[in-house]
Amino acid sequence: MASQLRSKVKSSVKSLLTRQKDKFEDGGEDLSSAASSQNIGPAKDVSPLHTDEMVDDIISGMDEVYFDDSPGHDTARYELTKLGDGDIDMNLLVERILLLKKEDGAIYKKIYDLVYGNYTAYVQELENVTALEISLQETTRTCVNSRRQLRMAKDGVSSGGLGLLAKHRKRKRLQVLLKILKTFKTLQKAEATLKEQLEEGDYPGATRICLWCQQAIETYKQFTCVSQLAVSLQDIHTVIENELEQALSRVPTSFDSSVYGQVNDAYQILGKTQRANDILLMKFTTAIHDNAYRIVSSYAEGVGDRSSYRSICKLVKPEKFTDCLVELCRIFWNIMYNYRKVHQWHMHYDATVSPSSIIDSQLMIEGEEGKGGGGGKSDAAIAEITFHRNYIKQKLDNGFARMWRDVQQKLRPYLEGCDMSTFQYDSFIRVLNIVNRLITIGIEFCGEGSDQLQESMRQQSLGYFRHYHRARLDELKLFLESEQWVSCPIRSNFTVNILREFRFLRTGMTTPTSPQRFLASRAIDSKDNIFERYKESDNPFEEEVEDEETEEVVVDTRQYDSDEYDDEPSSASAELNRSYVDEKTGDAPPPKAKPKGYSRERSESDRGEAVLANVTLTVVRFCGNYMQMMNVLQPIAYDVLQYLTNLFDYYLYAVYTFFAQDMVNDDNQLSAKLSASLARIANTLLTHDSSVLSSGDNVKVPYPEANPFIQLDNVASLYGLSFRIVAIESLVFLAKQFEYLLPNLERLIPEDKKYFLTQFFSQTVIPCYELRLPVYNTIASKGIPTDQILQSMSSVKFDIKEITSQHSRYVDQLLNEFSHFKELIDYINKQVHIPLESKAILWNRVILTACHTFVDGFSQVKKCSNEGRALMQLDFQQFRTKIEKLTNLRPLPSHEYVENYIKAYYLSESDLETWIVKHTEYSSKQLQALVLCGSGGLLNKKSKQKLLSLIEK
């Protein structure tokens, strides 16, 4: 029922609004008058008592059922249901009807109030609706006109042109489809293409294809076929990175600039240049460690599965040590050489390829050339590329020192793991040369030396050299005691540089001292850099090729080329030929053509100037070995120098003991320096206990004993003159060689140790020349029979009364002895060359002995007249004239010694007293003879006593 009321209300309101609208449009009554004139039906029954409060109370009291708008809801059925199934009370029914009418009136009242309250808005909305209707009418007219115009255009334009446009659009769509299909086809073949390019080493091309495939798959992932291809290509990026990493792992041992350029371009495309550099540095470090372990393991014996590197270094046998060391240094050189090439490649690449060119090439690859608006992006990309380059440069620069330290860490345990004290000298020197060469390479590689390697080799060398030096001293003792002191026939132009032991002097002093000084010397000539001298195919640790040029001949073979003597050379000389001529093959030198008229007895101008014994060459060779040790290992150069001086000291003392000690003991003829040096040698180097060679670092060697077969008392050999000449001249030769080597020795030792070398030369080497004096004095004192001459002089009467023109007979006897002495010297000179300086010393000593004999004979005269004094002058003048002709010595040495003594016979008392004080070279006996027999014979007893007292003082 309520729904019926509501429907009735709605229809009434609607009809009312419609009528009022029409009237409003026609200019009729307003809405209020219309509403009052209308008969709304139930509204007439609304009580005037229904105020707004009452209406609200009535509506609020209504059942909620009447306000339910759900479909199928029936309010009439609801009211009927409330009546029940029994008898209906009409009063209640009437009351219910009246109540419902009252509620219906309240609702109409409420609706009316609402409509009337929104009348202004209604009018405004009605005006909007009217305006909208007008706009719709205009739109309709526009559409009609447009359709009319389109119909006219369709009739006016050719249908063929429109068809052409449609086909062009279809063609464009088909081209796009074809491009997509081609992309699909390329994706299908991508895997095979990538494998082919990787096999060919085209890493940039493979990388570009891989990135393109990834972009294409991401673009067309909506297609089912592309999703299936993505499954087969999902690991291709990992495969390419693995291939690039494997290519980097080959760089440390076999660098190829073209391959490395391809790898670098590939990482550039991937945007992983920094990662590539980190991987490369790691590969170099790994190569050093892995190759070192592999090489040492291949030479070691009994290596376990889990043996550490330091432990396997101790398992390498001494006979394999050098070969393994060479192999290690070769691989270290190869790795450092390749690292330097990588560094140079990056420096050249950064200098020649600009960041902008890299960006342009990337844009061309991506097909973005010609696109504008990329200025900011280009600047950012250039900055990024520059940053990556600086990062790589810094890493590579720092990598030099790090790699050199890695090499040292692998080489030091190997050097310390072997006991080298049993090595042969050549083997040990080779080890030192190899390590030294590697240190030189390290200095040129990164500017750093190697205190670690030098300290390791210093300890090894000190231990080895103590053992080696003791053996050499023992060997030198045996050589000296068995030496026959026969002159070794060497060439006149002989120098120590000819000997193999001094070959390092000819090739230059190459041992590095400090990295700064070494690099400064290298900076003068960049071509001298070892990395420039050796290329990929060369290696500074390859086996050195023996020099094809035959070493200079040391032995003078002309001594055996004679028309008069056809006998074969002695076995000793033959041994010299084999030992000193060609030490590489052991063959004697080929015979040379004999000069016409050449005989064994050569003139003095043809003789070589150097005289030395076989043992002297041995000492020189020892010195060469010691200097070579100093050259290859600077840290122990001073220690080796001290050992080297022991060789000279022991040789000097042996010559002194064998040939000069007796004469020195009889008459001290040595300087204070030489005497002090001999005493020092006896105290510090020599021992009487032959069973003790050394004690700790203080080397001791037994006193040398002369060869018992060397006869020094034979008159026929002039008391062993040839042996003495060879011995003393060998010592002089050795001293000259030391003087010749002094500049090299000074370069080999530290600056603060040079005082030792200066002291050694000033106190030992230079004074050793003085040893000639006592050696030749022995010949002078024994070569002329002074006792017989003195006995003959004693029979001569010098108290004659008349001056005679005939000299005394003892003068002829003395001259005969000198003539015989000269014959012996000439004979010996044919066998052993006597240097002019030594010959002069020898003649000086002999003549001095004769002069002493004259003075001794004159001092024994008991009675002497003035005529006898004239005879003395005549005798000595005769001797002087003949000897000057015999020896070609002018003026005669020491002639004033005799002449002054003879003249003293004529001095007065006062002059004689002054003369005695001034001439201290005469003995007391000789001076007393002057007083008693000379002018003193005219003096009284008191004057004589005065002069004799002066002489005693």
| Spatial CA neighbour of 602 closest among 645, 564, 633, 551 | 564
pLDDT at 39 over 60: no
| Distance separating alpha carbons of residues 766 and 673, to the nearest angstrom | 10
Return d(Cα 494, Cα 835) in angstroms, integer. 15
Alpha-carbon gap, residue 948 to 942, rounded angstroms? 10
DSSP 275-286: HHHHHHHHHHHH
**pLDDT of 41:** 41
Within-domain flag for 661 = yes
- The answer to whether the Cα torsion of 451, 452, 454, 458 is positive or negative is positive
CA distance linking residue 307 with residue 310, whole number of Å: 8
Higher pLDDT, 148 or 264: 148
- Sort strands 686-687 and 694-695 into parallel, antiparallel or unpaired: unpaired
Q: What is the extent of the structural domain holding 674?
A: 483-504+609-772
State the alpha helices, DSSP H only, in 157-254.
159-200, 203-219, 224-232, 236-249
Residues 6+ apart with CB under 8 A from 895: 851, 876, 880
Rounded CA gap, 470 and 643, in Å?
9
CB 500 within 8 A of CB 306: no
Q: Is residue 344 part of a domain?
A: no
Residue 796 lies in a domain: yes
571-581 tens-digit pLDDT = 333 433 433 33
Q: Which residue has the higher pLDDT, 61 or 697?
A: 61
- Looking at per-residue pLDDT, the higher value among 127 and 604 belongs to 127
Same domain, yes or no: 626 and 748: yes
Q: What is the DSSP string of 694-742?
A: EETTEE-EEPP---TT--SS-TTTTTTHHHHHHHHHHHHHHHHHHHHHH
DSSP 345: H
Q: Is the pLDDT of residue 765 over 70?
A: yes
Q: What is the mean pLDDT of residues 858-878?
A: 87
- Helices 90-117 and 2-25 pack at an angle, to 10 degrees, of 30
The pLDDT of residue 229: 65
Q: What is the Cα Rg of the chain in Å?
A: 64
d(CA 669, CA 597): 45
Return the amino acid letter for 688.
H
Who's near 23: CB < 8 A, 6+ residues apart? 29, 34
Structure tokens at 920: 């201290």
> For residue 539, what are the contacts with CB-CB under 8 A and spacing of at least 6?
330, 333, 334
Dihedral over Cα of 803, 806, 812, 813: its sign = negative
pLDDT at 132: 92
* pLDDT value, residue 552: 47
- pLDDT category, 479, cuts 50, 70, 90? very high
Compute the distance between CA of residue 496 and CA of residue 743 in angstroms, rounded to an integer.
14
pLDDT, position 121: 84
Written as one letter, the residue type at 736 is: K
Cα separation, 606 vs 489, in Å, equals 12
Confidence of residue 366 (pLDDT cuts 50, 70, 90): low
CA distances (Å), origin 746, targets 320, 631, 740, 756: 36, 11, 11, 10
> Using one digit for the tens of pLDDT, what is the confidence trace for 579-626?
333 333 334 344 333 333 333 344 443 444 678 889 999 999 999 989
Of 886, 906, 926, the residue at which a domain comes to its end is 906
Query: 3-class DSSP state for residue 293?
Result: helix
704 & 792 share domain? no
Residue 762 has pLDDT above 90, yes or no: yes
Amino acid at residue number 923: S
Q: Are residues 703 and 747 in the same domain?
A: yes
Q: Which residues of 924-943 are buried (b: 16+ CB within 10 A; e: fewer)?
A: eebbbbbbbbbbbeebeeeb
Phi-psi region of 199 (alpha: psi -120 to 50; beta: other; left: phi over 0): alpha
How many alpha carbons fall within 13 Å on the CB side of residue 768?
28
pLDDT of residue 141: 93
Report the pLDDT value the prediction gives residue 446, as an integer from 0 to 100.
Answer: 87
On the question of pLDDT at 722 being above 80, the answer is yes
Closest by Cα among 393, 407, 284, 391 to 344: 393
pTM of the model: 0.63
- What band does 830 get if pLDDT is binned at 50, 70 and 90? confident
Q: How far apart are CA 494 and CA 368, in angstroms?
A: 80
pLDDT of 285: 92
| Percent of the chain's residues with pLDDT above 70 | 73
- Residue 647 contacts residue 619 (beta carbons within 8 Å): yes
Provide the residue type at 157 as one letter. Answer: V
pLDDT in tens, 450-478: 788 888 888 888 888 888 888 889 999 99
| Distance between CA atoms of residues 284 and 406, nearest Å | 10
Tell me the residue ranges of DSSP E strands in 618-690.
686-687
Helix segments in 834-908, DSSP class H: 836-859, 866-887, 895-903
Strand duo 694-695 + 698-699: pairing:
antiparallel
- The answer to whether residues 890 and 920 belong to one domain is no
- Position 60, amino acid: S
Domain assignment present for 82: no
- 240 pLDDT more than 70: yes
Same domain, 648 and 750: yes
pLDDT at position 347 over 90: no
Please provide the average confidence, as pLDDT, over all residues in the chain: 76
* Number of domains comprising the chain: 3
Kindly state whether residues 641 and 692 are assigned to the same domain. Answer: yes
Are residues 726 and 854 located together in one domain of the fold? no
Per-residue confidence at 869, pLDDT binned at 50, 70, 90?
confident
Does residue 918 share a domain with residue 901?
no
Q: What's the pLDDT score for residue 804? A: 83
887 exposure class (CB count in 10 Å sphere: 0-12, 13-18, 19+):
buried
Q: Are residues 884 and 930 in the same domain?
A: no
Residues linked to residue 694 through DSSP beta bridges, in sequence order: 699
Mean of pLDDT values over 766-785 = 84
Question: What SS3 class is residue 328?
Answer: helix
In percent, the amount of the chain with pLDDT more than 90 equals 14
613, 747: one domain:
yes
One domain, residues 916 and 890: no
**223 pLDDT tier (thresholds 50, 70, 90):** low
pLDDT at 550 over 60: no
Residue 740 covered by a domain: yes
Structural domain includes residue 101: no
Q: Please state, as a whole number, how many other Cβ atoms lie within 10 Å of the Cβ of residue 371.
A: 9
Domain endpoint, select from 745, 772, 799: 772
Q: Among the three residues 772, 806, 830, which one is the final residue of a domain in this structure?
A: 772
Read off the pLDDT of residues 398-418 as tens digits, 9 standing for 90 and up: 989 999 999 999 999 998 888
Q: How far apart are CA 682 and CA 701, in angstroms?
A: 10
CA distance 673 to 683: 15
Give the tokens for residue 294. 């592999």
Phi/psi of residue 583, nearest 5 degrees: -85, -5
The larger pLDDT score, comparing residue 395 to residue 261, is at: 395
pLDDT on residue 760: 94
DSSP symbols for 419-466: -GGGS-HHHHHHHHHHHHHHHHHHHHHHS---HHHHHHHHHHHHHHHH
Whether 569 has a pLDDT exceeding 60, the answer reads: no
Contact 869, 803 (CB under 8 A): no
Q: Please report the pLDDT score of residue 650 as a whole number.
A: 93
Would you say residue 836 has pLDDT above 70? Answer: yes
What is the C-alpha to C-alpha distance for residues 860 and 797, in angstroms, rounded to an integer? 11
Task: Count CB neighbours of 398 within 10 A.
Answer: 12
Residue 463 lies in a domain: no
pLDDT range class, residue 222, cuts 50, 70, 90: low
Per-residue pLDDT band at 216 (split at 50, 70, 90): low
CA distances from 69 to 2, 55, 76, 111 (A): 11, 22, 14, 17
Instruction: Give every CB contact of residue 528 below 8 A, 6+ residues apart in sequence.
Output: 522
In this structure, the number of other CB atoms found within 10 A of the CB of residue 321 comes to 21
Instruction: State pLDDT tens for residues 636-664.
Output: 889 889 999 999 999 999 999 988 876 65
Q: Which of 329, 239, 339 is nearest to 282 (CA)?
A: 339
Residue 428 CB coordination number (10 Å): 22
Please name which of 507, 519, 530 lies closest in space to residue 449, comparing C-alpha atoms. 519
Same domain, 897 and 915: no
Lowest mean pLDDT among 139-143, 272-276, 598-602, 739-743: 598-602
Average pLDDT over residues 295-305: 83
Of 327, 317, 318, 315, which Cα lies nearest the Cα of 423?
Answer: 318
**Mean pLDDT across 231-248:** 73
The answer for residues whose C-beta is within 8 angstroms of residue 91's C-beta and 6 or more apart is none
Residue 718 lies in a domain: yes
Kindly indicate the confidence band of residue 528, based on its pLDDT and cuts at 50, 70 and 90: low
Rounded to whole angstroms, the Cα distance separating 925 from 942 reads 19
Instruction: Give me the amino acid identity at 876.
Output: F
Please give the average per-residue pLDDT across 900-911, as a whole number: 84
